[in-house]
Amino acid sequence: EAGVTQSPTHLIKTRGQQATLRCSPISGHTSVYWYQQALGLGLQFLLWYDEGEERNRGNFPPRFSGRQFPNYSSELNVNALELEDSALYLCASSLERGRSNEQFFGPGTRLTVL
Amino acid sequence: SQQGEEDPQALSIQEGENATMNCSYKTSINNLQWYRQNSGRGLVHLILIRSNEREKHSGRLRVTLDTSKKSSSLLITASRAADTASYFCATDEGAQKLVFGQGTRLTINP
């Protein structure tokens, strides 16, 4: 069974640009989560999508947004990129909300903002 | 905010020895999960222990949970070079988000 996949593996942008990161969950999983792992800040929860709706977001500005498609894949968009947005962005999926919330992670997208 | 605090921050042992990492947290939890991360790549899910469980095993892994002390430990027995990685605990406080600690960097020396 295929795991969570993310694309691209690496992404290089300049300040002020927009970045789009993509995630495909494990087949049968309906919830998708996004986390940011920045150097020195650890893993921070960004967003949770379930059944196409944003269900929860972490303490990030509105320029971090995303969506979930009918096939449960998801996009994370970061607008007006800043240098401190450079980080590893991890996507995770879980079977459904309200259960054990066992989350399985993809390999990540490393975003570098120059 | 970081809920879990792993201890130690770094651990270096010889191959074949056992490695123990600890995690403390502050609030009530539904469950606690341990993950492994190799060289800044994705997280590999190791084990989930529910708040009503005290101990769980998976292969060479043994996890304990003490909700009265708000702490958990991960034991890796008979360590191998391939176990070299960072290990994170993550707590589920509800609202579906996981809160991670800063991790323990484990190095297995051949």
With CB atoms and an 8 Å threshold, state whether B98 touches A104: no
Averaged pLDDT for residues B61-81: 96
pLDDT at B99 over 70: yes
How does residue B1 score in pLDDT terms, banded at 50, 70 and 90?
A: very low
Question: Which pLDDT belongs to residue B41?
Answer: 83
**8 Å CB contact between B109 and B59:** no
| Mean of the per-residue pLDDT values of chain B | 90
DSSP-derived secondary structure letter, B23: E
Q: Which of B33, B42, B97 sits opposite A102 (nearest CB)?
A: B33
Averaged pLDDT for residues B65-69: 95
Q: Which of A45, A55, A90 sits opposite B42 (nearest CB)?
A: A90
Classified as helix, coil or strand, A36 is strand
pLDDT tens-digit map of A22-65: 999 999 899 999 999 998 778 999 999 998 999 999 999 999 99
